[in-house]
């Protein structure tokens, strides 16, 4: 067996091991907010998904489209995550190919190993999200731009344009790596094999991406902020980024991997553990080849993407770990290059440096595997509720994003509620709605399980835990797979609660959504009427003697003569189609209600969204709606 064949077998084996690791972790790890929201988004029909991305998201559609296509092969959580696992194996192979092309085979193998054991890689290899797809596309584009610079072939120019454009349609932070490509081409201008091909590729990418910039402008104007990163000060930014990249999510806490070996007070150990990797990256920029093109490309890939990301993080408060992944392969190649360069000059010290870099990365990987429910821990919460809850209980979550996470791990039949947002598109818990919701649920359910959220910005007044404790909340006996670093806490409320409830005809507050929302359904207008956007749940108290149910509503009609919308009310498990007049008016007074009478009557309304608000007529929520409910309650005939 010659060396080339042996190398191909070895790198294929590395890719398969990485793929297997991603698939194993996919079945073991708990979910988190962004992942659950992504799975919810790609579960919609294609047209609705693309419309929602353009209106309510700040990301391009490429990653969602890939997951939507993958979801057609299966819908389980493990299956949705498996795509990232497969791409992880491919990313390891491409990292080897890049290191081999830039420096040599030893750098390729070591760079692939460093990327494969990095805790950030393993974490995102088990996520139903875009980062691993973006990483693969950018690695392919980087190999293509190097080939374009050296050969000037049409094939290389086409590959660079196609892969770079695809990456830009997956996430905007692809710009940091593409910027490194541009700087490489500009600083190598006189050495390029065919400058016209470079111009053609750039022009093609610009022309095909220009239409999306209009959508991007609308996305930014429609939202208050661009994303969900944590605020980090200027002095913490670079050290914390390096700790993320080399050891995973320690958040300035001493990882348990080190606690067994050092004194607990030495919390600076994670920062010191960064130094071997930083030293190796610095050595990697040393001259190792007479090929100026490869040296220049490695230098730009090492410095420009990380520098651009850190500046953007400061400017936009977008510091979040999953944004780092596309930058990691280039830093791993640079570190591998530095280890081999240093090893040629001092073999023993080079071996020590290699071992330090590998052991520190492996320590972060062990930390990740030992904490499968980090960072949010929805799985142990769902398992705890399922194991300890009883019939007649209900679950209260802080917001819609929390609901997505919880439902992915839910194994019981309990009803689930969540507190709503102060304004459309926000996730902040509204304290006044917590105060209204708890008495309402207390009157209907035997016991209420309350989950409080760990990012303080989502519940800045700690409304949920305060209200839960006020009503006699207790911690459950234990949490399944408890993790001291998981930020969720779980309380349950026991009867008797404080007395209270709503009037017999529900009056909706002026402006904010109603607190008894299930899913994305209740949208209040400026009066007592309210919109539905596909599905809404109302909970009415039992009627007095002689009262009947009354529903008055209006379904906006399309001027182009589309058929009347179908509106269905589900009461006690039975669906009833409501009459809709030609004018769109819905007036319903049933003679009798299905099922047995109870203290409370849940009514679910479902309809196809037909009304699209515009700039002149809207109630603060630009999402499509289908039914304006003007009255829902009891009346005497």
Token digits of residue 179: 């910027």
pLDDT at 475: 52
Q: To the nearest whole percent, how much of the chain has pLDDT over 90?
A: 28
pLDDT at 425: 41
Q: Chain centroid to CA 583: how far?
A: 42
- Calpha distance 142→449 (Å, rounded): 50
pLDDT surpassing 50 at residue 507:
no
Q: In angstroms, what CA-CA distances link 153 with 193, 201, 337? A: 8, 11, 28
pLDDT at 62: 93
pLDDT single digits (tens) 391-417: 878 888 777 777 778 888 888 888 887
Residues 6 or more apart whose CB falls under 8 angstroms from that of 31 comprise 39, 77, 376, 378, 379, 405, 408, 409
pLDDT at 408: 83
Residue scoring higher pLDDT (441 or 262): 441
Residue scoring higher pLDDT (220 or 61): 61
Residues 294 and 387 in one domain: no
Residues 323 and 436 in one domain: no
Query: Which residue's structure tokens are 């209204």?
Result: 436
Three-state secondary-structure class, residue 125: coil
pLDDT band, very low/low/confident/very high, at 112 (cuts 50, 70, 90): very high
pLDDT at 305: 93
The number of beta carbons lying within 10 Å of the beta carbon of residue 166 is 20
In this prediction, residues 349-370 reach a mean pLDDT of 82
Token digits of residue 285: 């920029």
pLDDT surpassing 80 at residue 423:
no
Smallest Cα–Cα separation from 328: which of 89, 112, 32, 93? 112
User: Model-level pTM?
Assistant: 0.73
Starting at the edge strand found earlier in the chain, the sheet holding 600-607 runs 535-541, 600-607, 567-571, 574-577
Q: What is the DSSP string of 232-289?
A: --HHHHHHHHHHHHHH---TTSPPHHHHTTS-TT-TTHHHHTTHHHHHHHHHHTS---
pLDDT at 22: 92
pLDDT band, very low/low/confident/very high, at 211 (cuts 50, 70, 90): confident
Residues 128 and 174 in one domain: yes
Residues 6 or more apart whose CB falls under 8 angstroms from that of 81 comprise 22, 26, 126, 127, 128
Q: What angle (nearest 5°) sits at the alpha carbon of residue 265, between those of residues 260 and 267?
A: 85
Residues 529 and 491 in one domain: no
- Calpha distance 565→102 (Å, rounded): 61
**Domain around 385:** 374-501
In this prediction, residues 54-62 reach a mean pLDDT of 81
pLDDT surpassing 90 at residue 185:
yes
**Sign, CA torsion 437/438/443/446:** positive
The number of beta carbons lying within 10 Å of the beta carbon of residue 482 is 11
Residues 6 or more apart whose CB falls under 8 angstroms from that of 111 comprise 95, 96, 98, 99, 329, 332, 333, 335, 336, 337
pLDDT surpassing 60 at residue 444:
yes
pLDDT surpassing 60 at residue 16:
yes
Token digits of residue 449: 């399980």
Residues 482 and 590 in one domain: no
Residues 416 and 349 in one domain: no
Q: Note whether 257 and 363 are within 8 A (CB).
A: yes
Residues 507 and 497 in one domain: no
Residues 225 and 121 in one domain: yes
pLDDT band, very low/low/confident/very high, at 625 (cuts 50, 70, 90): low
Three-state secondary-structure class, residue 84: helix
Residue scoring higher pLDDT (284 or 539): 284
Starting at the edge strand found earlier in the chain, the sheet holding 627-635 runs 522-524, 530-532, 627-635, 548-554, 585-588
In this prediction, residues 458-466 reach a mean pLDDT of 67
In this prediction, residues 126-155 reach a mean pLDDT of 94
pLDDT band, very low/low/confident/very high, at 478 (cuts 50, 70, 90): very low
Strand 447-452 and strand 489-494: the pairing is antiparallel
Token digits of residue 78: 């493990």
Residues 6 or more apart whose CB falls under 8 angstroms from that of 182 comprise none
DSSP 8-state assignment for residue 571:
E
- Calpha distance 312→134 (Å, rounded): 18
Can you give the CATH number for the domain in which 606 is found?
2.60.120
209: buried, middle or exposed (CB in 10 Å: 19+, 13-18, 0-12)?
middle
Residue scoring higher pLDDT (200 or 632): 200
Residues 385 and 341 in one domain: no
pLDDT at 200: 94
Q: To the nearest whole percent, how much of the chain has pLDDT over 70?
A: 70
Last residue of a domain, one of 482, 501, 520: 501
In this prediction, residues 324-342 reach a mean pLDDT of 92
pLDDT at 494: 34
pLDDT at 539: 63
pLDDT surpassing 50 at residue 362:
yes
DSSP 8-state assignment for residue 479:
-
pLDDT at 33: 75
- Calpha distance 440→502 (Å, rounded): 7
Convert 381-404 to b/e letters by CB count within 10 Å (16 or more is b).
bbbbbeebbeeebbbbbbbbbbbb
pLDDT at 253: 45
Q: Note whether 450 and 437 are within 8 A (CB).
A: no
pLDDT single digits (tens) 612-624: 655 444 444 455 6
pLDDT at 492: 40
In this prediction, residues 187-198 reach a mean pLDDT of 91
Q: Specify which of 1-10, 107-116, 507-516 reaches the highest per-range mean pLDDT.
A: 107-116
Smallest Cα–Cα separation from 115: which of 327, 338, 343? 327
Lowest mean pLDDT among 270-284, 519-533, 566-580: 519-533
pLDDT band, very low/low/confident/very high, at 582 (cuts 50, 70, 90): confident
**Helix 275-284 × helix 292-316 angle, to 10°:** 140
- Calpha distance 536→506 (Å, rounded): 14
- Calpha distance 576→351 (Å, rounded): 74
Residue scoring higher pLDDT (443 or 483): 443
- Calpha distance 627→605 (Å, rounded): 9
pLDDT at 427: 59
pLDDT single digits (tens) 222-266: 554 344 555 666 777 777 778 778 877 543 344 444 444 444 455
Three-state secondary-structure class, residue 168: helix
pLDDT at 41: 84
Q: Specify which of 51-55, 422-426, 524-528, 564-568 reaches the highest per-range mean pLDDT.
A: 564-568
Last residue of a domain, one of 351, 370, 389: 370
How many domains would you assign to the chain? 3
Residues 353 and 427 in one domain: no
Q: In angstroms, what CA-CA distances link 563 with 17, 556, 560, 566, 567? A: 55, 12, 9, 9, 12
- Calpha distance 92→336 (Å, rounded): 14
- Calpha distance 119→361 (Å, rounded): 7
Three-state secondary-structure class, residue 482: coil
Tell me the Ramachandran region of residue 411: left when phi exceeds 0, alpha when psi lies from -120 to 50, beta otherwise: alpha
The number of beta carbons lying within 10 Å of the beta carbon of residue 507 is 11
Residues 6 or more apart whose CB falls under 8 angstroms from that of 33 comprise 228, 376, 401, 402, 404, 405
Residues 300 and 389 in one domain: no
pLDDT band, very low/low/confident/very high, at 84 (cuts 50, 70, 90): very high
pLDDT, mean over the chain? 76
Residues 117 and 145 in one domain: yes
pLDDT single digits (tens) 272-319: 788 899 899 998 887 766 788 999 999 999 999 999 888 888 877 667
pLDDT at 599: 62
- Calpha distance 155→164 (Å, rounded): 14
- Calpha distance 321→248 (Å, rounded): 9
pLDDT at 85: 95
Three-state secondary-structure class, residue 463: helix
Q: What is the DSSP string of 177-219?
A: HHHHHHHHHHHTGGG-S-HHHHHHHHHHHHHHHHHHHHHHHHH
Last residue of a domain, one of 341, 370, 399: 370
């Amino acid at each position: 067996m010659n060396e080339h064949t042996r190398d191909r077998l070895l790198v294929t084996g590395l890719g398969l091991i990485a793929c297997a690791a991603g698939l194993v972790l996919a079945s073991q790890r708990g979910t988190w907010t962004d992942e659950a929201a992504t799975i919810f988004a790609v579960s919609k029909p294609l047209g609705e998904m693309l419309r929602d991305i353009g209106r309510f998201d700040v990301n391009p559609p490429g990653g969602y489209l890939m997951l939507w296509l993958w979801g057609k092969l299966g819908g389980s959580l493990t299956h949705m995550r498996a795509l990232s696992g497969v791409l992880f194996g491919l990313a390891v192979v491409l990292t080897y190919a890049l290191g081999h092309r830039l420096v040599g085979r030893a750098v390729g193998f070591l760079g692939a190993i460093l990327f494969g054991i990095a805790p950030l890689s393993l974490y995102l290899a088990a996520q139903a999200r875009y980062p691993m797809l973006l990483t693969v596309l950018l690695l392919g584009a980087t190999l293509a731009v190097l080939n374009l610079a050296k050969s000037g072939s049409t094939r290389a120019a086409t590959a660079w344009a196609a892969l770079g454009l695809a990456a830009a349609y997956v996430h905007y932070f692809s710009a940091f790596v593409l910027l490194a490509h541009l700087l490489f081409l500009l600083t190598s201008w006189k050495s390029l094999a065919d400058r016209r091909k470079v111009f053609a590729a750039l022009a093609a990418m610009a022309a095909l991406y220009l239409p999306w910039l209009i959508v991007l402008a609308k996305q930014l104007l429609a939202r208050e902020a661009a994303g969900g990163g944590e605020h980090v000060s200027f002095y913490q930014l670079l050290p914390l980024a390096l700790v993320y990249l080399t050891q995973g999510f320690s958040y300035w806490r001493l990882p348990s991997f080190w606690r067994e070996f050092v004194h607990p007070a030495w919390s600076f150990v994670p920062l010191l553990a960064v130094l071997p990797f930083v030293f190796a990256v610095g050595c990697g920029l040393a001259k190792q080849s007479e090929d100026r093109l490869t040296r220049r490309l490695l230098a730009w890939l090492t410095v420009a993407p990380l520098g651009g990301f850190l500046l953007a993080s400061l400017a936009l408060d977008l510091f979040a770990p999953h944004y780092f992944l596309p930058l990691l392969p280039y830093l791993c190649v640079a570190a591998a290059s530095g280890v081999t360069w240093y090893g040629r000059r001092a073999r023993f010290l080079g071996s020590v440096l290699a071992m330090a870099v590998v052991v520190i990365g492996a320590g972060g990987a062990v930390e990740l595997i030992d904490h499968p429910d980090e960072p949010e821990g929805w799985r142990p919460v769902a398992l705890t509720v399922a194991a300890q809850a009883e019939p007649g209980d209900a679950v209260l979550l802080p917001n819609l994003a929390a609901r997505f996470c919880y439902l992915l791990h839910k194994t019981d039949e309990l009803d689930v509620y969540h507190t709503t947002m102060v304004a459309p598109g926000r996730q902040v818990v509204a304290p006044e709605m917590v105060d209204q919701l708890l008495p309402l649920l207390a009157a209907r359910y035997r016991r209420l399980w309350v989950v409080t959220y760990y990012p303080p910005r989502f519940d800045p007044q700690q409304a949920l835990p305060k209200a839960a404790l006020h009503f006699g909340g207790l911690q459950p006996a234990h949490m399944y797979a408890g993790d001291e670093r998981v930020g969720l806490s779980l309380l349950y409320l026991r009867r008797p609660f404080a007395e209270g409830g709503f009037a017999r005809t529900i009056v909706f507050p002026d402006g904010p959504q109603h607190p008894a929302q299930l899913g994305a359904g209740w949208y209040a207008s400026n009066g007592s009427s309210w919109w539905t956007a596909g599905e809404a749940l109302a909970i009415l108290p039992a009627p007095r003697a002689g009262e009947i149910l009354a529903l008055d509503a209006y379904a906006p009609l399309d001027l182009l003569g589309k058929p009347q919308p179908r509106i269905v009310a589900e009461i006690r498990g039975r669906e009833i189609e409501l009459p809709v007049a030609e004018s769109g008016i819905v007036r319903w007074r049933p003679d009798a209600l299905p099922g047995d009478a109870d203290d409370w009557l849940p009514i679910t309304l479902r309809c196809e969204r037909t009304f699209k608000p515009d700039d002149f007529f809207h109630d603060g929520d630009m999402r499509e709606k289908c039914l304006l409910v003007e009255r829902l309650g009891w009346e005497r005939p």
